Structure 1
Amino acid sequence: MTNAAKSSTIATMIRHRDLAIRLAAALLVCLSGACAPRLTLPKETGAVFSTDSATEVFTAGYSSISEKYIDTISLAVIALEGMRGLSTIDPGLTVSRRQNTIILTDNDRVVARFPAPRDNDARKWAALTVEISTAAGVASKQLRAASNEMLYEAVFDGMLSNLDVFSRYAGVEEARKNRAKRQGFGGVGIRFKLKRGQFRVTFVMPNTPAASNGIKKGDIITHIGQVPVKGLRASEVGAQLRGPIGSRVTLTVRRLGQAGPLTFEIERAHIVGVTVVLSERNGIVFLRVTGFNKNTALSMASKLKKAKKMLGAKIKGLVLDLRGNPGGLLKQSIRVADLFLAQGQIIRTRGRHPDSIQHYEASGPDLVTGAPLVVLVDGKSASAAEIVAAALQDRGRAVVIGTSSFGKGTVQTVIRLPNGGEITLTWSRLITPSGYALHGLGVMPAVCTSGANGGERELIDEALKARMKTSTLIEAWRKADIENKSQRKGLRASCPAERRKRSVEVEVASRLIGNRSLYNRALSLTSAVDAAWH
C-alpha cells in the first residue's frame, strides 16, 4: 500500500469510527491509571517527545490493548500500525518491517533502521515508538511542528483504526469532557439555546445552584462575569459556565417584564445531567430516558415512587421510552432493569480478559409489582438502552414496541493514560438472558412500527395475526450466529431500524396497557419461554 493510500485509509477509518460514536455512545466500564503532567517538548534539542514520559504513555497503551481487547491481537502488529499513524501528519513517512528490522523512510529515503523487539514486549515497543518519532522529527518539518497531542493522536489512532469503530483514543481535553459527561461536572445547572444571536435558558435543573438562585426558563444570558456573550459560540458560553466545584461565576440576564438586567452570583456545584423525565396521561406513567449516567437508576426509582404516591392504585401501567437513547454506563442499565424484575438474569458479558466475563442478576423487588410495562425502542436505541429492552423482553416483563434497535452489543472499558488522555477499548460482548449476542442484531420488537405513520389498532392486529411468523422469527433471532453477518442483517430487515419520533408508538403502548387481554397476547409473542440460561 502506498503512503498516500495508507494515510487515506486511516483517515477514512477514523471518520467511520467517529460516525459510529455519534450514533451510539460507548457502553463503559472505567479503569484508572496513574496521572502525570502534560509533556513539555524540548524543541531546541530536536527531540519530539520527552523520552521517559512518552515511553510510559505508549507502554500503558500497548499493554492494555494487547491484554484487554476483545479479540487476540499481536502487540507487535498494533505497535507497527501505531508508528505508521505518523503518516497522517506527514504522508511522506513510512514505517515498515523486514524480518527483524523496523525501517523508517521519508519519501522513499531510508532515515533509520532499528532492531525489532520481541513480539510481546510492550515497554520495548513503546521505547521504539519514541525512537521512531524522534528520528521522524529530525527528517520531517511537519512532525517538528506537531504538538505532543497531535503525535499521541496519530500513533494511537493508527493502532486503533484497524480494530473496531468503538475503540478510540481521546486526548487530554476530550478525555476531560468525556469524564464530565460520565461523572458530572462543576456548573450551575442550566441548558440554553442560541437563537437569533441570543442565549436563552431552556431548562433549569431542580436542586441546582441556578434554581436556588432564581434563574428561570426564558431568561436571556447577556454577560458571564464582565464578558458580554454576544458573538460567542454556544460551546464558549458553556465552557465559561463550567468550572471547579465551589468556584463562583456571575451571570447577568434579561427577563421579560423586568425593566433592567438581573445579576446573579452563583457558586458552581457538581452537576449530573437529567436523563429521566416523568409524565402521566390517563393513569399511564411515561418515563422518557435519554441516556444512562451515574444518576439514571436513582432518578428513575425516585420518579417511580413519586408516580406511585401521586396515582396510587390508579396506575394502569408504565411506558419506558428509550427511543433515541444512545446508551451510557453498563451498571446503570442493569440497575434500571432491576427496578422492574424480582429475580433472574439481566445480562452477561463475555470477553477475553478474565475481568470482562460477568453475570448480572436481578435482586428485586419489582417497584411496580408487575404492572403492565411497555418499552419503546427505535434504530437509535443503543447499548445500555438495548440491555434494558432485551432483559425486560426476554424475561417476559415487557412488550417492546418500535423498530429493530441499533445493535451496539459490545462493552468498552476506559483506560486512563499517564498523559491524561484515555483509550476507550472494546473488551466484551453482551449476551441477553435468552442467549443471543446483541451486537449487529439489536432487539426485535413484538409490535413493529417501521414506516408506520398511524393506525395503532391495525399495527397491533397485524402483530397478533402474524403470531406464528413472529415466533419463528424470534427463534431465529435468538439462535443467530454471531459470525454470520448476512444472516443477522437479514433478520434486522424484517423490521428495519429507523429513528422514530412520532406518536404512533405511544398510541400502541396506551392501547395495549388499556386492554389487559391484548397486552398479555402481545407479551407472549416474544417472552423467552425456553430461555437459554447460562
Structure 2
Amino acid sequence: MMNKSLNCIKNRFFPLGTAAVVLLMFVVPIHSKVAHAVPTQIEQNSYFFEELLKSCQASYLKKVSMQSLIRAGLLSFVEESGCVLHWGSGKIKVRCYHETVTHDLPLDAADDGAKLLARVILLNTVSKSSVQSLREAVAKGIVNSLGDPFTAYLAPGEVQQLKRYGHWSVGVAMDPKHPDRVHGVRPGSSADMRGVFVGDRLLRVDGQSVNGKYYSEMSAILVGPPEERVTIELSRDDGIHRFQLNRSDEESIPIWAQKIHKDLLYMRPGKFDNGMADTMWVQLAAHAQVKGVILDLRHNPGGLLSEGISFLNGFVGEGALGSVHPRAGHPVQSYKASQAHVLSELPIVILVDGGTASVAEFVALVLKERLGAALVGQSTLGKGRVQRVISLPDSGAMRISVAELVGPSGQRIKKSLEVDHFLAPAAGNTAISGKNPAEDSWVAFGVGLLRKK
C-alpha cells in the first residue's frame, strides 16, 4: 500500500521519472549561474555610455546628432590618454601604442557608439590614467560638447560632495562662459569680507589648479564641509592674492518682509522652494498701505518655477507671465496670472547681482516687462533654464537643460540680464547678510528711485 502511494506521488509530480529529477538537480543551478552572470567591464561601461548618449540626445533643449556626441567622447579620450584618433575615409581608428580599435562610419546609433567607447577606454596601455578617470573624462567631453555650461555630467564623487555639502560654499558665483572668473560675490560672505571682487581670476583652490575646469566642476571644488577653511589664489591687475575663506550656507536666505521709511516695503523672498510664495504673502498681510516695493533677489539661486509663478501672481493681476520653451517639436507651456494681485500698480525696484539665477532671473524679467520694474545692481548669472537631473548607472548623474525660460515679450534669458542702474559692490552691512535694510547702500539707492516715481 505504501509503495503504491509513493509511486502515485512520483508519477504525479515527476512524470518523467527519477532520471528527470536527477537531471533537473544539475540543470537548474547551471541556468541560474548564467542568468545572474556578472557583467564584464566592457558591458558595464557600454551600458553606462549608452544611457548617457541616449539621455543627451533625447532630453537636451536642442537637437544634437549622435555622431557628434560620440566624436566628442573620443576626442576627450585621446586628450586624456595620449592615444591617437583618425576620423575619416569612412572609418574610425583609435590607436594606443600597439593596439588599435576600428569602426565604420557613419556612427549614428547609441549602442554602437557606446560599445566603441567602452572598448577604447580599455586600450589605455600608455597613460597612467585609470579606467574610471578615462570614463569620467569621456562622459564630461560628451556632455560639454552640448555647449551649455549649466548642463553637466557629475561623477559619483561630485554627486556625493554636492549632496552632502551643496549649500556650503565661499560666497562666489563663477562666470558660466569663463569658469575661472568671479561673476558675483554674495554680500556678507567670507569672500566679500576678505576682499574678493567681481572680475577676479581664480587660479588655485587649496593648491589645486583650476585651469581648464568646466563651470560645473568649479561648483564641486568650492563646496565642502563648513568647518574646513578654503585657501584660494586669484589674480587681478595689481598681482596675485591669497585668501583663506570660510564656507557658509549659500541657500540660507530667510524670507523677510518689512516696512522701511514708513511707506515702502522691503522684500527678500529667499530661495523659491515649496511654500515660499504662500509664506511671503502671509507676511505681507501685516504690511498694507505701502507706496513702493524693493525686491531683493541678490545671490538668489532660483528654485521651483511653480513657486516663481505663484510669487508673480501676487504682483500681476492678469495677462501673460511668460512661458517655457522646450526643444523644437515639443509644446510650449505658457503661464498667465490666475488670481487677484496683492500689490497692485506699485512701483518696484529689484536688486540683482551676479548670483541672481534661474527662476529669480525669470521673476525679475517678468516684473520688468509687465510692471516696468527697475533692475538695480549688477548683471545676473544668465541661467534662464529649466533643468532635470538624470541618474546614471555609474552612480553619477547628469544635470541637463531641457527648456528655456521666456519672458512675456518673448525675451529669452540666454545671457545675463542687464541692469537699468549699475551699482558698485555694497560695502559693510547689507540686508542680504542679515543686517537692517536701512544700513544697506543698495537699498538706499532703491529708496531714492522710488521717491522719484
| Alignment TM-score > 0.5, same fold | yes
CA distance in 2, matches of 1:363, 1:179: 35
1:96 aligns to what?
A: 86
User: 1:152 aligned to 2:135?
Assistant: yes
**Equivalent in the alignment of 1:407:** 382
1:177-188 aligned within 5 A: 177-178=161-162
Instruction: Give 1:80's aligned residue.
Output: 71
Across the aligned residues of Structure 1 and Structure 2, the Cα RMSD in angstroms comes to 3.8
Select 1:68's aligned residue among 40, 59, 75: 59
Which of 413, 422, 444 pairs up with 1:449? 422
Residue of structure 2 equivalent to 1:127: 115
CA–CA distance in 2 between the matches of 1:63 and 1:70? 14
Aligned to 2:128: 142
Identity %: 23
* Distance in 2 separating the partners of 1:79 and 1:333: 37
Residue in 2 that maps onto 1:115: 103
Inter-partner Cα distance in structure 1 for 2:252 and 2:426: 32
- Tell me how far 1:82 sits from its aligned partner: 0.8
Aligned residue for 1:349, secondary structure, equals strand
Q: How many positions carry a matched residue from both structures? A: 333
Structure showing greater Rg: 2
Shift of residue 385 of structure 1?
1.8
Matches within 5 A, 1:194-273: 235-236=224-225, 273=252
Partners of 2:320 and 2:284 in 1: CA distance: 27
Equivalent residue runs for 1:114-513 within 5 Å: 114-116=102-104, 118-134=106-122, 136-137=123-124, 139-140=125-126, 142-143=128-129, 146=130, 148=132, 150-164=133-147, 165-178=149-162, 235-236=224-225, 273-274=252-253, 276-283=255-262, 284-289=264-269, 291-292=271-272, 294-295=273-274, 298-309=275-286, 311-313=287-289, 315-352=290-327, 354-355=329-330, 357-396=332-371, 398-440=373-415, 442-445=417-420, 448-450=421-423, 503-513=440-450
Question: 8 Å contact 1:170–1:421 — kept in the other structure?
Answer: yes
Q: Report if aligned partners of 1:84, 1:94 keep a CA contact under 8 Å in 2.
A: no
Shift of 1:80: 2.0
Q: Is this contact kept in 2: 1:103–1:110, CA < 8 A?
A: no
Once the two structures are TM-superposed, the CA of residue 88 in structure 1 deviates from its matched residue by 4.7
The 2-side partners of 1:153 and 1:452 are apart by: 38
Measure, in 2, the Cα distance between the counterparts of 1:509 and 1:444. Answer: 13
Task: State the distance in 2 between where 1:389 and 1:176 align.
Answer: 32
| 1:171 counterpart letter in structure 2 | A
Instruction: Tell me which amino acid in the other structure corresponds to 1:159.
Output: I
Q: Aligned-pair distance for 1:128? A: 1.3
Deviation beyond 6 Å, 4+ runs, structure 1: 180-184
User: How big is each residue's C-alpha offset from its partner over 1:245-271, in whole Å with a ceiling of 9 and x where there is no partner?
Assistant: xxxxxxxxxxxxxxxxxxxxxxxxxxx
- How far residue 390 of structure 1 moved from its aligned partner, in angstroms, is 0.8
| Residue ranges of structure 2 left out of the alignment (5+ in a row) | 1-37, 169-188, 191-221, 229-250, 428-438
User: When the two structures are superposed, what TM-score results if normalisation uses the length of structure 1?
Assistant: 0.54
AA aligned to 2:104 is A
- Structure number with the bigger relative contact order (C-alpha 8 A, sep ≥ 6) is 1
The separation in 2 between residues aligned to 1:362 and 1:441, in whole angstroms, is 25
- Is the Cα contact below 8 Å between 2:257 and 2:283 reproduced in 1? no
Contact 2:101 2:120 in 1 (8 A): no
C-alpha separation between the residues in 1 aligned to 2:92 and 2:409? 49
Could you say what secondary structure the match of 1:140 adopts?
coil
- For residues 223 and 398 of structure 2, the distance between their equivalents in structure 1, rounded to whole angstroms, comes to 27
Shift of 1:62: 0.6
Instruction: List per-residue Cα deviations over 1:227-256 (Å, max 9, x = no partner).
Output: xxxxxx9944669xxxxxxxxxxxxxxxxx
- Distance in 1 (CA, whole Å) between partners of 2:225 and 2:131 is 23
Distance 1:57 1:335 in 2: 39
SS of 2:405 mapped into structure 1 = strand
Q: Distance in 2 between matches of 1:52 and 1:331?
A: 41
